[in-house]
Amino acid sequence: MIFLIDFTPIKPDFGLIFWTTIIFLIFWLMIGKFAFRPIAAALKKRESDIQGSLDEAKRVRQEMANLKAENEALLVQAREERAHILKEAKDAGNKLVEEAKIKAKEEAQKIVASAKEQIENQKMAAITDLKNQVGAISLEIAEKVIRKELKGNAEHEAFVNGLVKEIKLN
Amino acid sequence: MHRYILSFIFLLCFSVFAISQNEHEPQNGGQPAGEQPANMEEQHGDPGVIDHQAHGEASHDAGCGEQAEHEFDPGATAFHHIADQNIYSIGPWSLPLPCFLYAPDHGWSVFSSGKFHADAHGNGHVAIDKYVLVEGMVQRIADPSFPDGEVEVAHHPYFQKVKKEDGSEKEAAFICYESKLYPAEDRSTADGGLFGGGITSFYDFSLTKNVTSMIFIFALLSWMFLSIAKAYKTRDGMAPKGVQGFIEPIFLFIQDEVAKPFLGHKWEQYLPFLMALFFFILGLNLFGQIPFLGGSNVSGNLAVTMVLAIITFLVVNLSGNKNYWEHILWMPGVPAWVKVILTPVELLGVFIKPMTLMLRLFANITAGHMVMVIFVSLIFVFSNNGLNVGAGYGTAVGSTLLTLFMMTIELLVAFIQAFVFTILTASYIGAATEEAHH
C-alpha cells in the first residue's frame, strides 16, 4: 500500500469552501424560515397554552372549592331551616290540638252548663207548675175542707195559700 | 442485562470479523510480489518529465520501472482515511462521484469519476483531459506535452521525493504514460502555501465525498425538520410524537440554554442561525462516526469549519452595535495609554475568536477520526503487515475494544463540539448586540 503523507484536511480546498457555503446558507435560510421559526413559534405557543391551562385549572379549582363551600353552607342552612320548619309545624300542630281540646272541653262544659240550666229551668218550671198544682189542689182540698167547715172564709183561704207557698219541694 | 452482554459480544465478533476482512485486503488487493516492478532510484530536484525509456518496455504498467515498496505507515493511513476524495468508498465498493474541474488554461471539465477506472486503492488508470485519480483524489498533469482527452496510463502512480523551492523534501505522485513519468499536481487550496498547498494549475469543484456527505446530511436534516415543523402544525395541541419528540428536547435545550441566556430579548432573531449551526455540525459530526459508511471527515475538514467560522464572523460583526465597536476601537473608562494597547488586542480578538472556532472543531473531529484509524492500524503494525495472522487476531480484540471506547467518546465529542461552537457563537453575538449599561 502506498500513501501520500499529505495532511489534506488542513488545506482548505476551494470546491469544498464553495459547496459548504452554498449548502450551509441554504440550510440556514430555508430551514430557518420553514422549520426553525415555526417550531420555535409552536413551542412558544404551546408553552403559553400550557401556562394558560394551568392557570385556568387553578382558577377553576378555586372556583369549584368556593362553589362547594357555598353549597355546603347552603345545605347546612337548608337543613337548619327544615328542622326549624318541622319544629314549627309540630308546635303548631300541638297548639292546634291543644286549642281544639280546650275548645272542645269548653264547648262540652258550655253544653253541659246549658243543659244543666235548662234542666234547672225545666225543674223550676216543673216545680213551679207542681207548686201551682199543689197549691190549687191544696186549695181545692182546703176549699172542700173549709167548705165543709168554714164556708167562704177568706182568712183561711189566705192562710192556706200562704202555707202552700211555704211548701218547697226539696 | 443478558441482552446487553449478548449484543455486546455480537458486536465485538462482528467488528473483529470486519477488521480481519480488511486485514486480508492488503494481501489480496496489493501488488503480488511477482508483479512488483524493479526498484526505482529516487530522483531529486527534477519535478519535470523523467525519461525512463532506458528500460525499453512499452507496457503501461512496467514502462516506468519498479515502484519502491512502502512499509505500512499508520500515520499515512490515517491521513488517507480522513482526506476528502473524488470517489465514495464503502467497504469493497467505490461509488463514482461527479467531477467539476476547472483549469484556467483549459476551462471546465465535467465527467464522472467512474471514468478513471479506479482500482481498490483509488488509483485510476485512465487520464481525462490531463486529470488523473491518485489515491482517490483528482490530480492534474500540468505538462503541455501530455495529451488531452481520455488516455490510458499506468495502473498505479509512482511516488518520489522531490525537492521544493525552499529546499525541503516532499513526496509527489508521478504518472507513467508511454514510459515517461509526468508529475501530477494537487488541486488548488486556499491556505496560501501555509500548510503545503497553494494555487496550482486547476481548481476542483467536484461533488467530492465530503460534499456528497454534506448534501446527504442537508437533505436528511431538511426532511426531518420540515416534517417536524409540519407535525407541530397538524398535531397542534397534542403531545409530541416520534422524531418530533426526539428532537424537541434538543431544540429546547439549545433554545433555553444557549439562545435565551446569551441573547436576551433578541434570541428569536438569531435562533435560526444558532439552530442551523448546531444541527448542521451535529449531523456532520455524527455522520462521520457511523461505521461502514465511509466515515466522512466533513466537520474535520478545515474548509468546512472555515466557512462556518467566516459566516459566524460576519453574523457577529454585522450585528455589532455602537457599544460593541466602541469597546473594540476605543475602550471607554480606561486611561488613554491603556487604550493604545487595548485597541490592537481587541482588534486581534475579533479575528481570533472565529479562528479558534474553526480550529477547535477541525482539530477535535479530525483527531477523533485519526485515533480510530490508528487503533485499527495497530492490528497491521503488530501482525507485521499481515504476515503474523495470530498476532493480528490478538490485537484485533484489543483494538476493537479501544475503538469501541473511542467511538463512545466520539459520540460525546460530536455533541459537545456542536454545542461549544453554538454556545460560543451565541456568546459572541450576545457581546456584539449588548446594550450599553454604564
Strand positions, DSSP E, B178-317: 180-185, 203-204
**Choice among A23-27, A102-106, B432-436 with the minimum mean pLDDT:** B432-436
pLDDT surpassing 80 at residue B341: yes
| Residue from the list B134, B189, B221 with its beta carbon closest to the beta carbon of A13 | B189
Please name the residues in contact with B66: beta carbons below 8 A apart, sequence gap of 6 or more.
B36, B37, B38, B39, B40
CA distance B340 to chain A (A): 35
Give the residue extent of every domain in chain B.
43-207, 211-433
**Choice among B176-180, B184-188, B191-195 with the minimum mean pLDDT:** B191-195
pLDDT surpassing 60 at residue B293: yes
What pLDDT is stored for residue B7 in this prediction?
A: 64
**Choice among B20-34, B213-227, B315-329, B341-355 with the minimum mean pLDDT:** B20-34
Residue with cell string 476524495? B85
The residue with greater pLDDT, B69 or B36, is B69
Residue with cell string 465535467? B110
Please name the residues in contact with A157: beta carbons below 8 A apart, sequence gap of 6 or more.
A139, A142, A143, A146
pLDDT digits (tens, 9 = 90+) for B103-138: 998 899 999 999 998 888 888 889 999 999 988 889
Radius of gyration of chain B measured on its C-alpha atoms: 26
Across the range A30-57, mean pLDDT stands at 92
| Residue from the list A20, A38, A49 with its beta carbon closest to the beta carbon of B229 | A38
Across the range A1-24, mean pLDDT stands at 80
B:201-220 residues touching chain A, CB 8 A cutoff: 203-208, 210-211, 214-215, 218
Residue A23 sits at the chain B interface (C-beta within 8 Å): yes
CA distance A9 to chain B (A): 5
Residue B79 sits at the chain A interface (C-beta within 8 Å): yes
pLDDT surpassing 50 at residue B47: no
| Residue from the list A9, A25, A42 with its beta carbon closest to the beta carbon of B300 | A9
**A18, A34, A36, best to mutate vs chain B, most B CBs in 10 Å:** A36
| Residue from the list A18, A25, A42 with its beta carbon closest to the beta carbon of B232 | A42
B:23-52 residues touching chain A, CB 8 A cutoff: 26, 30
C-alpha triplet A84, A85, A88: angle, nearest 5°: 85
What pLDDT is stored for residue B72 in this prediction?
A: 76
Residue B195 sits at the chain A interface (C-beta within 8 Å): yes
pLDDT surpassing 90 at residue B18: no
pLDDT surpassing 50 at residue B46: no
The residue with greater pLDDT, B373 or B39, is B373
The residue with greater pLDDT, B432 or A153, is B432
| Residue from the list A23, A33, A36 with its beta carbon closest to the beta carbon of B215 | A23
pLDDT surpassing 60 at residue B27: no
Name the residue in chain A with its Cα closest to that of B254. A40
Cβ atoms within 10 Å of A121's Cβ, excluding its own: 10
Residue A13 sits at the chain B interface (C-beta within 8 Å): yes
| Residue from the list B156, B228, B303 with its beta carbon closest to the beta carbon of A35 | B228
What pLDDT is stored for residue B209 in this prediction?
A: 93
User: Helix, strand, or coil here: B389?
Assistant: helix
Kindly determine whether residue A24 and residue B215, on different chains, have CB atoms separated by under 8 Å.
no
pLDDT surpassing 90 at residue B410: yes
pLDDT surpassing 80 at residue B344: yes
The residue with greater pLDDT, B36 or B206, is B206
What the block records as the C-alpha cell of B291 is 461505521
What pLDDT is stored for residue B389 in this prediction?
A: 82
Residue with cell string 391551562? A53
Average pLDDT over chain A, rounded to an integer: 85
Across the range B414-435, mean pLDDT stands at 94
What pLDDT is stored for residue A90 in this prediction?
A: 93
Contacts of A46 in chain B (CB under 8 A): 237
pLDDT surpassing 50 at residue B35: no
Give the span between the Cα atoms of B255 and B241, in whole angstroms.
20
pLDDT digits (tens, 9 = 90+) for B223-263: 999 999 999 888 877 888 888 889 999 999 999 999 999 99
CA distance A47 to chain B (A): 11
**Choice among A32-36, A135-139, B165-169, B276-280 with the minimum mean pLDDT:** B165-169
Average pLDDT over chain B, rounded to an integer: 82
Q: Which of B285, B381, B290, B380 has the alpha carbon at shortest distance from B90?
A: B290
**Choice among B152-156, B273-277, B345-349 with the minimum mean pLDDT:** B152-156
B397 to A7, B7, B405, B416: CA distances (angstroms): 29, 16, 12, 29
8 A C-beta contact, residue B371 and residue B406: yes
**Choice among B62-71, B263-272, B396-405 with the minimum mean pLDDT:** B62-71
CA B80 to chain centre: 10
Across the range B401-426, mean pLDDT stands at 94
A:48-107 residues touching chain B, CB 8 A cutoff: 49
User: Helix, strand, or coil here: B217?
Assistant: helix
Strand B169-177 vs strand B158-163: parallel, antiparallel, or unpaired? antiparallel
C-alpha triplet A25, A30, A35: angle, nearest 5°: 130
* Residue A13 backbone dihedrals phi, psi, to 5 degrees: -90, 140
Across the range B358-374, mean pLDDT stands at 92
C-alpha triplet A136, A139, A140: angle, nearest 5°: 85
Contacts of A42 in chain B (CB under 8 A): 229, 232-233, 236
Across the range B159-168, mean pLDDT stands at 72
Strand B203-204 vs strand B180-185: parallel, antiparallel, or unpaired? unpaired
**Choice among A124-133, B100-109, B145-154, B274-283 with the minimum mean pLDDT:** A124-133
* Residue B277 backbone dihedrals phi, psi, to 5 degrees: -60, -55
Kindly determine whether residue A9 and residue B237, on different chains, have CB atoms separated by under 8 Å.
no
